[in-house]
Amino acid sequence: MHHKSLAELASALKAREFSSEELTQHYLKRIERLNEDLNSFITVSTEEALKQAKAADAILQSGEGSSITGIPLAHKDIFCTTGVKTSCGSKMLDNFTAPYNATVVSRLKTAGAVMLGKTNMDEFAMGSSNETSFYGSVKNPWAHDRVPGGSSGGSAAAVAARLTPAATGTDTGGSIRQPAALCGITGLKPTYGRVSRYGMIAFASSLDQGGPMARTAQDAALLLNIMAGFDERDSTSVAQDVPDYTLSLEESIEGVRIGLPKEYFDENLNPGIAIPIEAAIKEFERLGAQIREISLPNTKLAVPTYYVVAPAECSSNLSRYDGTRFGYRCDNPKDLLDLYCRSRGEGFGPEVKRRILIGTYVLSAGYYDAYYLKAQKLRRLISDDFKQALTEVDVIMGPTSPTPAFRLGEKSDDPVAMYLADIYTINVNLAGLPALSIPAGFAQGLPVGLQIIGNYFSESRLLNLAHRYQQVTDWHDRIPAGY
């Protein structure tokens, strides 16, 4: 059963080829057998999953239900889930059980999806390798000595290893697309405001966006149909109608103008990555697309800009974790100041502390204008680059990651090298645009991801392009050995 895509499983459930309970038990057994090596799950909610599956079967038996009723999936452990631990991969929230569901969780639950559990992640979504989690590193199913990417690495590894048909993720600087690329799956970061952030624990509020992670573009479209939409509880949610993303999947891509930024194909790109990316672009050309070279001149400013804006916002968002209301509290504090200092010092990991300190520094009175204000001005320049380019072309394509999955521990002692792993994804978040990553081949035996970037609210076009490509290739069907 785990060889089927989410769309195929949905059809089989409606045809009553098997029940949701049987399907859920199948995946729970795979998790029990295979997750110990991968470490892709923090929490497995076995009893609740089987209860939800039985309820889904009753709905399906009556002939009712949505397009995903009875489908098991997993949530990144950044989404609040009623009665289930929501840890954000941190010691700080190791004892936190959310009293409510995030909007993404509640919408998928209402649609009849079955929650298998919560997936591992970089602590508070801060990382590009899934090595900063309090619960230990996630392993890449293609090579256990390699990282799966981050911060949604647990979700990506679980989907790639067929421990779940799909999973939710969040993308602040590439945290859906980069692990999707390194694990060989499809991951979509929607337009900022397209998916509600309510109940999604904040890292950087102007950058964070939830999205689907699955095997195929069709699966991502099915999930986005349910996840997307206005939410009055999220002040950044956009009140715009949600189309049926599956209706445009089969449209011709004849004449679609694809832009290739020359800045994405320079000396920073690993030659092993360039070869499959160029082959994928030629495939789009054979399908009728028009290829043009474009320029995004401020690309080089993306990483320094992001690593001022994101830490500044994280410093503000994480100030609430002080040992008083919820989360980790130190033992036997001497006074209130000791409670604050020790609870935060003991509860946060090194990478989170690093970003809090950077963020506090750039927001301080003496440095606000020199760093934070300047970064916001550069952010506008980066956004303007995309606006100009997207008047000349319909979409932008290039690599998702400059290298294949690197070895565990390889970049742990060099934060700047780690940050550069997101060089092709960060600028999309700064501009608030939609983008997805799809499997496009292999380099050194490891998956390579092709990134497709579109204009605001053009998710239908991105999914259409990805789907047509996946109809003529089989990279998305490849499974790691042993899974």
> What pLDDT sits at residue 298?
96
> What number is the average pLDDT over the span 223-232?
98
User: How high does pLDDT run on average in the chain?
Assistant: 96
145, 116 contact by CB (below 8 A): no
Token pair listed for 14: 């409606």
> What pLDDT sits at residue 279?
97
Spatial strand order in the sheet of 72-76: 41-44, 114-119, 72-76, 166-170, 210-214, 186-189, 435-443, 446-453, 395-399, 257-261, 290-294
CA 184 to each of CA 133, 160, 227, 230, 476: distance values in angstroms, whole numbers, following the listed order: 22, 7, 22, 31, 7
pLDDT at 294 over 90: yes
> What pLDDT sits at residue 108?
98
362 lies in some domain: yes
pLDDT digits (tens, 9 = 90+) for 130-169: 999 999 999 999 999 999 999 999 999 999 999 999 999 9
Give the CA count within 13 Å in the CB-facing half-sphere of 454: 21
> What number is the average pLDDT over the span 356-380?
95
315 lies in some domain: yes
330 lies in some domain: yes
| Alpha-carbon dihedral 343, 129, 258, 282, rounded to 10 degrees | -170
384, 432 contact by CB (below 8 A): no
* Separation between Cα atoms, residue 366 and residue 371, nearest integer Å: 10
Confidence of residue 33 (pLDDT cuts 50, 70, 90): very high
pLDDT at 268 over 80: no
326 lies in some domain: yes
Name the 3-class secondary structure at 418: helix
pLDDT at 457 over 80: yes
> What pLDDT sits at residue 240?
93
294 lies in some domain: no
> What pLDDT sits at residue 179?
98
> What number is the average pLDDT over the span 402-415?
92
* Separation between Cα atoms, residue 159 and residue 215, nearest integer Å: 7
% of the chain with per-residue pLDDT over 70? 100
> What number is the average pLDDT over the span 458-472?
98
* Separation between Cα atoms, residue 205 and residue 191, nearest integer Å: 14
* Separation between Cα atoms, residue 43 and residue 421, nearest integer Å: 28
425 lies in some domain: no
> What number is the average pLDDT over the span 48-66?
95
> What number is the average pLDDT over the span 286-290?
97
Active site residue ranges: 76, 151, 175
186 lies in some domain: no
Radius of gyration of the chain (CA): 21
> What number is the average pLDDT over the span 171-178?
97
Which residue, among 401, 382, 474, has the nearest Cα to 444 in the 3D structure? 401
Token pair listed for 383: 């956004």
- Our count of domains for the chain comes to 1
Residue 308: give the domain boundaries. Answer: 300-376
> What pLDDT sits at residue 414?
87
Which residue, among 223, 245, 179, 180, has the nearest Cα to 72 in the 3D structure? 223
Model pTM above 0.85: yes
* Separation between Cα atoms, residue 91 and residue 328, nearest integer Å: 7
* Separation between Cα atoms, residue 143 and residue 312, nearest integer Å: 35
217 lies in some domain: no
Confidence of residue 420 (pLDDT cuts 50, 70, 90): confident
